[in-house]
């Protein structure tokens, strides 16, 4: 009787063990999927389930120290919500998107697995997508039922495939030292002031000599400062809508000469040769009172209030970007401004694409207190963000001029370009080289412009277009 009881107990225990294994297997199967719907459910419940394997992905960008703190905080928010995704923040070149892209291209060419990367522009995203360096997002959007045009102002598309989510919304403006304006009795400019007016402001704002000199303005090394009218008031800074190069545009001749005259004749801008040699930082030039005005963008909104990173005691005012004077308008000029912004893209070599997509959506759509720049997400409240960015530091801002330059009805924006070239990096180098020929080698502007047009045309014919 005792032997029979032991046998029965053994059968019962075996049966219970089998049932337990079956239930365990079902439970694991239900939580191990990588579909977007599973990911969305995990997010809704505060993160992934403990049974999922943790993955590590990398997020690449060009943050300076102040920006990195905000990015790190946002990434931590994401990891708190998604405990099975660890994100490593990789700053390739702090504060310099141009050099960052060179380093990124090297990493891509060397075969490094790139997960998520912040790209500085629509053009830089499309160019690398056309090379096969980025992963298309269509299947992820379809899983989530997302229509990108409903979500973002500008979408990076090549042949009907999406390759980037708009992260920031760019608005250019001029930052001015308000105390310096008051010293010489100048008003904060409104929409409609021209680059000729800018030159006159720079003359009046220039002060002192030698190491104590405050220049009226500072122009950095990027192509934005080589032809500001083309870069800020055309749909595309490289080609017209008919596909021909804009380097033949009359604005090039005008602005190249303006730059040279402000350096050589007026002495109101630090020489380009000195800027190159010293590898100067444009923020430091302004906040150290080396220059009283600088053309920049809304990614600097928080800077005047960041007196720890940029020690200064003057108030900053803001003005819309000057418009070109009569006769120097870019072809097709509408009196409106270009807007785009940085994009967040996924590397084609990423081994964790589901996790990468989840991070991309969080970074572009999250209503985070740690966001530092205007969002390219249509449902974001950028006016509220501006208020957050200056909170507690309003005394460092001329608030009326900031609000006017960002949100006034006077400020209108162009639509997206319908035609873009795949040769943006190469044409950017042509612009840089042409500008150097004119500024440093004193080659005649007509010869320089002809050389630029010829080189850009060859590149466009070779690389083709994206529509």
Q: Block means of pLDDT (10 residues each) for the chain, length 467 residues?
A: 41 39 36 34 41 89 93 98 98 94 95 96 89 97 96 89 94 97 98 98 97 96 94 91 92 97 98 94 96 95 95 98 95 90 96 98 95 91 92 97 96 82 88 96 95 96 78
Which of 318, 358, 450 is closest to 37 using CA atoms? Answer: 358
Beta strands in 141-196 (DSSP E): 156-158, 161-166, 172-177
Q: Is 178 found in the same domain as 319? A: yes
Query: Quick check: is 419 in a domain?
Result: yes
Residue 10 has a pLDDT of 42
Neighbours of 252 (CB within 10 A): 26
Instruction: Tell me whether residue 285 is in a domain.
Output: yes
Q: Mark whether 289 and 186 lie in a shared domain.
A: yes
Helix (H) / strand (E) element for 284: namely helix 282-287
Dihedral sign, Cα of residue 68, residue 73, residue 76, residue 77? negative
- What region does 428 belong to: left with phi over 0, alpha with psi -120 to 50, or beta? alpha
Instruction: For residue 222, give the DSSP letter.
Output: S
For residue 32, tell me if it sits in a domain: no
d(CA 375, CA 363): 10
Domain of residue 82 covers 37-170+340-380
Same domain (yes/no): 70, 97? yes
Pairing status of strand 116-119 against strand 55-61: parallel
Q: How far is CA 53 from the centre of its chain?
A: 32
| Per-residue model confidence (pLDDT) at position 267 | 98
Instruction: Verify that 351 and 307 share a domain, yes or no.
Output: no
Of residues 31, 272, 254, 34, the one with CA closest to residue 143 = 34
Can you give the length of the chain in residues?
A: 467
Q: Do 314 and 349 belong together in one domain?
A: no
Strand pairing report for 343-346 and 161-166: antiparallel
Number of domains within the chain: 2
Give the domain CATH number at 321. 3.40.190.10
In this prediction, residue 467 carries a pLDDT of: 63
DSSP secondary structure code for residue 191 in this structure = T
Q: What is the DSSP letter of 216?
A: S
**pTM score of the predicted model:** 0.74
């Amino acid at each position: 009787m005792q032997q029979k009881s032991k046998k029965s107990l053994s059968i019962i225990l075996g049966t219970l063990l089998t049932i337990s294994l079956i239930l365990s297997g079902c439970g694991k199967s239900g939580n191990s999927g990588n579909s977007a719907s599973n990911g969305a459910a995990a997010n809704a419940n505060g993160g992934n389930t403990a049974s999922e394997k943790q993955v590590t992905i990398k997020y690449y960008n060009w943050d300076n120290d102040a920006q990195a703190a905000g990015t790190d905080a946002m990434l931590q928010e994401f990891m708190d919500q998604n405990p099975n995704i660890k994100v490593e923040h990789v700053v390739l070149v702090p504060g310099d998107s141009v050099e960052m892209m060179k380093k990124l291209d090297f990493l891509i060419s060397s075969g490094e697995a790139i997960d998520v990367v912040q790209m500085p522009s629509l053009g830089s995203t499309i160019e690398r997508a056309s090379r096969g360096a980025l992963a298309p997002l269509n299947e992820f959007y379809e899983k989530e039922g997302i229509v990108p045009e409903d979500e973002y102002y500008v979408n990076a598309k090549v042949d009907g495939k999406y390759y980037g989510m708009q992260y920031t919304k760019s608005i250019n403006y001029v930052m001015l030292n308000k105390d310096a304006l008051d010293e010489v009795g100048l008003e904060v400019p409104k929409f409609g002031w021209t680059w000729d007016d800018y030159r006159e402001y720079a003359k009046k704002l220039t002060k002192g000599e030698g190491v104590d000199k405050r220049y009226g303005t500072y122009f950095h090394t990027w192509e934005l400062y080589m032809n500001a009218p083309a870069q800020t008031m055309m749909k595309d800074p490289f080609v017209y809508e008919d596909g021909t190069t804009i380097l033949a545009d009359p604005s090039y001749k005008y602005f190249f000469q303006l730059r040279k005259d402000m350096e050589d004749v007026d002495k109101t801008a630090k020489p380009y040769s000195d800027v190159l040699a010293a590898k100067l930082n444009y923020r430091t030039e302004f906040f150290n009172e080396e220059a009283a005005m600088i053309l920049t963008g809304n990614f600097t909104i928080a800077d005047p209030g960041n007196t720890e990173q940029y020690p200064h005691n003057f108030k900053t005012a803001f003005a819309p970007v000057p418009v070109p004077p009569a006769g120097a308008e870019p072809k097709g000029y509408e009196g409106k401004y270009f807007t785009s912004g940085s994009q967040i893209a996924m590397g084609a070599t990423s081994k964790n694409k589901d996790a990468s997509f989840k991070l991309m959506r969080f970074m572009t759509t999250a209503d985070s207190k740690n966001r530092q720049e205007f969002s390219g997400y249509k449902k974001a409240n950028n006016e509220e963000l501006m208020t957050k960015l200056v909170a507690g530091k309003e005394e460092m801002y001329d608030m009326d001029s900031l609000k006017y330059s960002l949100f006034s009805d006077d400020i209108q924006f162009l639509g997206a370009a319908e035609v873009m070239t795949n040769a943006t990096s190469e044409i950017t180098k042509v612009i840089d080289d042409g500008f150097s020929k004119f500024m440093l080698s004193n080659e005649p502007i007509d010869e320089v412009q002809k050389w630029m047009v010829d080189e850009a045309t060859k590149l466009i014919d070779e690389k083709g277009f994206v529509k």
